[in-house]
Structure 1
Amino acid sequence: MAGAVLCTLNIRHDSTMVSTLLKHSEAKLVFVDYQFLDIAKGAIEIMLKSTSTVPQLILIPESGKQSTGAKSGNMEYEHLLVMGSLDFEIRRPVDECDPIALNYTSGTTSSPKGVVYSHRGAYLNSLAAILLNEMPSMLVYLWTVPMFHCNGWCLTWALAAQGGMNVCLRAVTANGIFESISRHKVTHMSGAPTVLSLMVNAKAGERIPLPGKVAVMTGGAPPPSQVVFEMERMGFDVFHSYGLTETYGPATVCTWKPEWNLLPPETRARIKSRQGVNHLGLEEVDVKDPVTMKSVPWDTKSIGEVMFRGNTVMNGYLKNTKATNDAFEGGWFRSGDLAVRHSDGYIELKDRSKDIIISGGENISTIEVETVLFRHPAVLEAAVVGRPDDHWGETPCAFVKLKEGHELNGDELMTFCRENLPHYMAPRTVVFTELPKTSTGKTQKFVLRQKAAAMGSLPSKVKSKL
């Protein structure tokens, strides 16, 4: 209403990154929760070393405690409201394509870029989110998706449109999720596959029976079918959507077909892991050859790049014309994700273009290998990248985190994969470790690729055993 552009910053960034984004966005006002005040103050101090123009901090103090905002020189939120004018004339956008929000990408492969959203795109994607989540009026929504990520997948606005109740968590824990669902009679929630994995692996004492059916939209990364299966067994109804920051969050959804209800649970879960078809707010999604720009056949085998066009695709990257032009080369937004199309037109991701493993001339989908790894009862998290190989070019290397209380060695896990995959696709290296994550729960595969590259090629003696 003030005519400002909203820029939600990642609460997990340090002061250095926050200072970089504040400078890039040219923010004039920063609302800071008391919990992150030190990070914000650190960012301002860094900025003052190179510029005298810094944003004003507006402190949101801890409820029930006396604030020290005035003493520290920061204005308090309530004080700011008192300064407002009741007869202020709302500043509406001159053009519906004017910017409403600036969102920085999670930076899974490079430094974050500022994605510009328009009023029109946000409006359309919010309405589409209501439809694809089947949101009625007065719903109760639990937040586990960070609101700084694509404006909460545009659900912040969708909830307002439907008069919904927002249930917020300061920390995402299995106990907190189940407790909130029970206490507030939650009807809808969303979460990355890592959140769903947290829930299905919750201890018996943390789980509380659901008060009713809870619809869950998942996205951000392809959900392992085993996780979807376990969620539905607990009583959740899982919707799988797919998109990027550049598409305002959800752009496609695996729209369910009634005839699929007759299939076995495991098969249904695998189908739900597909990315599906575009929602009603998006003009078109396609899988194309990135060179010829021709659509790939709907044969589940031909791999191409997922591309989008329509009103719910970003205006562009702020102050980065080259990156914008590269992203829209050929008249479509290029996602960088590789996929196939099924005979019914539904798309299914196979990998990021930078993640695909080429071993001895064969393309290996890391997602397919990870899906098998997740089937092992001892595996909590898994990510696969290519490891350099003098003979094959590269071979699959699995980084795995085990469930608490489980023991497993690399040979046992590699044997399990060879029993469930073509041998050339099975990992030849297994590393048990914590997986590095972005702020939105995505595994930072570029970090794992660096670790795999540092290992070098497998010794010949090891290869002979494989």
Structure 2
Amino acid sequence: MTVMTDTEAMAHVMQTNPAFAVTDANIRGVDFRVFENVPPHVAALLHASYEAQGNGAAEYLIFENERWTFDEFLSDVNRMAHVLRDTFGVTKGAPVGIAMRNCPELMIMVMACASIGAVTVFVNAWWTTEELEYALKDSGARLVFADGDRVARMQPLVDDLGLAIVGVRDGETTAHHSFTALKTNAQSDQRPDADIDTDDDFAIMYSSGTTGRPKGVVQTHRGAVNAVFSWLITAVMAPLMDPDHDPDAPPVRPSVLIVTPLFHVTATHPMFLLSLPAGAKVAVMPKWDARKAVEIIRDEKITRFLGVPTQSADLMVAMREMGETLPTLDYIGAGGAKRPPAQVGELSEMLPNAAVATGWGMTETNALGIGMLGDEYNARPDACGKPHGPLQDVRFLDDNGNDVPHGEIGELTVKSPANMRCYLNKPDATAEVLEDGWLKTGDLGRIDDEGYVSIVDRKKNIIIRGGENIACLDVEAALHRHPAVAEACAFSVPHDRLGEVVGAGIQLKSGTSAQAEDIQAFLADHIAKFKIPEHIWFQTTPLPRGATDKTDRRALQAQCLKDHT
């Protein structure tokens, strides 16, 4: 067999496999390249995957000691779709909130909503009552499916917002409605009829930005499905580029382990949604436990692992302690944050059967973006990779919107049908980042003559703590609520395990005093625990200023970290 380059392999697959044929489409007045023959929406993606999932008989979903075949998963999805429509009167385009830790019910409800054209509102399970209130008001979701902790946090909002809460698992006894009872009493387990357009809204995911409140990223069905097939084509291309590929060898069924939150795009799109047409089995962890992850990978013969770099590091520690080699893993990816370069070689040594991978994507792009794996990643551990084809276009722009030459730093700007439709209820913020189909990402980087992209900095004031995005202004808004705080500025503090954690410089009001513990305890009622600064520096003089009299975040960060160890 002749080994192809990536460009040759992609051209070959597009020309010979109808599933990956590309055409042009006008979307909201802008022309894009799109896959011509893919399922038109997420519900169709689910049912088009039936054959790949053993005609329904294959074991599909594993959660602790519970197991679903694909047929059983479809039955639960269909039942809950009828519950949404018949019991709660949910109509096409209506927002439905999901607020829970990783569990099968989350995946079932995403598909149930998609099946009737409702819009899933992914709610961050770590948010406080105050943060939950903002998202529910912003999205208009009044029906929410939630586990026990989230039911408790939303109870103060029930009357004011008119919420109907369906309890899931440990939330069934405390919420007004029970998921199990509703599913059991559903009027049908047949696929519901629904008139869904490919450019209808599929989901709202909240993403931290440079403003003090998270933005609701509106994703369409076309965006999600085209992202999925952009990843799927790489699996079809891989044998054409592998000199050691044996075409007569029996195929290995892919199996994935989901360890990151399903309310984030890293878990939903390139893991859950991709698993459907890929014919993959899915194992889901409710919370991260490295030793448990090793056991699941070993016992379920997991082939694909995608987590934040911290989880890759934890996995290696657990492997050493347990004496496990995990030979079935053939892919170990990193999302949510950049992997430390030193980790690349260590993973390759410990997992010789696995292609170590990296990538870049955003909630605003349905996670579609840039990636690489294996030898090319080992050779360029500081880079992000090449843009996933064949639908994306990539540019690097200066502050005036002009393209910069290869090798020079500019703002990464991308165009594809996977880009979001808008920021919910934020036309000005949408206009700032979307123009003629191009999305300004806020990330600064460069592309070399071979097409490899490196991200060097962020224009956005975002701290990435173990893969979780934290807006500095979100933290600062909460800090300014404290009666002793005259001025506050948040910034990242390097951390060996998490990559970054939150730090803050605070000017105290005259005549007041406070300790870091006081500030941290106060913040617990206002922002999620992972956003609370772990390091706080106090001063009585004003924080440093730049030329425009704005707080100089970088100068303050350097000043505070000067003696930090």
Question: If the length of structure 2 is used for normalisation, what is the TM-score?
Answer: 0.57
Establish whether residue 297 from structure 1 lines up as the match of residue 405 from structure 2. yes
Q: Which residue of 2 aligns with 1:224?
A: 340
Q: Which residue of 2 aligns with 1:271?
A: 380
Establish whether residue 105 from structure 1 lines up as the match of residue 207 from structure 2. yes
1:204 aligns to what SS in structure 2? helix
CA distance in 1 between counterparts of 2:210 and 2:293 reads: 26
Q: Which residue of 1 aligns with 2:153?
A: 42
Structure 2 unmatched runs, 5+:
1-114, 239-250, 465-471, 473-490, 498-526, 538-550
Q: 2:258 touches 2:306 (CA, 8 Å); kept in 1?
A: yes
Q: What aligned pairs does 1:118-157 form with structure 2 within 5 A after superposition?
A: 118-132=220-234, 138-150=253-265, 152-154=267-269, 155-157=271-273
Q: 1:306 touches 1:338 (CA, 8 Å); kept in 2?
A: yes
Over 3 Å counting, the alpha-carbon distance change for 1:304 and 1:242 in structure 2 is same
CA distance in 1 between counterparts of 2:425 and 2:207 reads: 14
2:123 aligns to what SS in structure 1? coil
CA distance in 2 between counterparts of 1:12 and 1:164 reads: 29
CA distance in 2 between counterparts of 1:270 and 1:207 reads: 29
Q: Which residue of 2 aligns with 1:7?
A: 121
> Cα distance, 1:107 vs. partner?
4.8
Q: Larger RCO: Structure 1 or Structure 2 (Cα < 8 Å, ≥ 6 residues apart)?
A: 2
Q: Which residue of 1 aligns with 2:296?
A: 180
Aligned length: 368
Q: What aligned pairs does 1:253-268 form with structure 2 within 5 A after superposition?
A: 253-254=371-372, 260=376
2:320 aligns to what SS in structure 1? coil
1:238 aligns to what SS in structure 2? strand
> Which of 141, 166, 183 is the aligned partner of 1:27?
141
> Cα distance, 1:457 vs. partner?
4.7
Q: Which residue of 2 aligns with 1:314?
A: 420
Q: 2:122 touches 2:263 (CA, 8 Å); kept in 1?
A: yes
Over 3 Å counting, the alpha-carbon distance change for 1:456 and 1:178 in structure 2 is closer
Establish whether residue 347 from structure 1 lines up as the match of residue 453 from structure 2. yes
2:321 aligns to what SS in structure 1? coil
> Cα distance, 1:84 vs. partner?
2.6
2:368 aligns to what SS in structure 1? strand
CA distance in 2 between counterparts of 1:444 and 1:307 reads: 31
Q: 2:204 touches 2:217 (CA, 8 Å); kept in 1?
A: yes
CA distance in 1 between counterparts of 2:343 and 2:532 reads: 16
The Cα offsets for residues 78-133 of structure 1, whole Å up to 9 and x where unpaired, read as 22123433287734344211101111114577421000111111111112233346
The Cα offsets for residues 341-364 of structure 1, whole Å up to 9 and x where unpaired, read as 1121211100102469xxxxxxxx
1:290 aligns to what SS in structure 2? coil
Q: Which residue of 2 aligns with 1:194?
A: 310
> Which of 138, 154, 171 is the aligned partner of 2:287?
171
CA distance in 2 between counterparts of 1:331 and 1:250 reads: 15
Q: 2:199 touches 2:222 (CA, 8 Å); kept in 1?
A: yes
CA distance in 1 between counterparts of 2:182 and 2:560 reads: 62
Q: Which residue of 1 aligns with 2:18?
A: none
Deviates more, 1:183-192 or 1:13-22: 13-22
Q: Which residue of 1 aligns with 2:355?
A: 237
Amino acid at match of 1:348: S
> Cα distance, 1:8 vs. partner?
1.9
Deviates more, 1:273-282 or 1:245-254: 273-282
Establish whether residue 59 from structure 1 lines up as the match of residue 160 from structure 2. no
Q: 1:8 touches 1:151 (CA, 8 Å); kept in 2?
A: no
Q: 1:15 touches 1:40 (CA, 8 Å); kept in 2?
A: no
CA distance in 1 between counterparts of 2:529 and 2:335 reads: 11
> Cα distance, 1:453 vs. partner?
6.0
1:294 aligns to what SS in structure 2? coil
> Cα distance, 1:38 vs. partner?
3.6
Q: What value does the CA root-mean-square deviation take over the aligned residues?
A: 3.9
The Cα offsets for residues 312-346 of structure 1, whole Å up to 9 and x where unpaired, read as 10001111101100111465210000001112121
CA distance in 2 between counterparts of 1:458 and 1:122 reads: 42
CA distance in 1 between counterparts of 2:223 and 2:533 reads: 28
Identity of aligned residues (%): 25
Q: 2:117 touches 2:195 (CA, 8 Å); kept in 1?
A: yes
Amino acid at match of 2:365: T
1:78 aligns to what SS in structure 2? helix
CA distance in 1 between counterparts of 2:396 and 2:119 reads: 33
Q: What aligned pairs does 1:384-423 form with structure 2 within 5 A after superposition?
A: 399-401=493-495
Q: Which residue of 1 aligns with 2:131?
A: 17
CA distance in 2 between counterparts of 1:42 and 1:325 reads: 34
Establish whether residue 251 from structure 1 lines up as the match of residue 369 from structure 2. yes
> Cα distance, 1:185 vs. partner?
0.8
Q: Which residue of 1 aligns with 2:10?
A: none
Q: What aligned pairs does 1:340-379 form with structure 2 within 5 A after superposition?
A: 340-354=446-460
Q: 2:347 touches 2:356 (CA, 8 Å); kept in 1?
A: yes
Establish whether residue 334 from structure 1 lines up as the match of residue 440 from structure 2. yes
CA distance in 2 between counterparts of 1:347 and 1:73 reads: 48
> Which of 65, 68, 92 is the aligned partner of 2:194?
92
Over 3 Å counting, the alpha-carbon distance change for 1:276 and 1:452 in structure 2 is closer
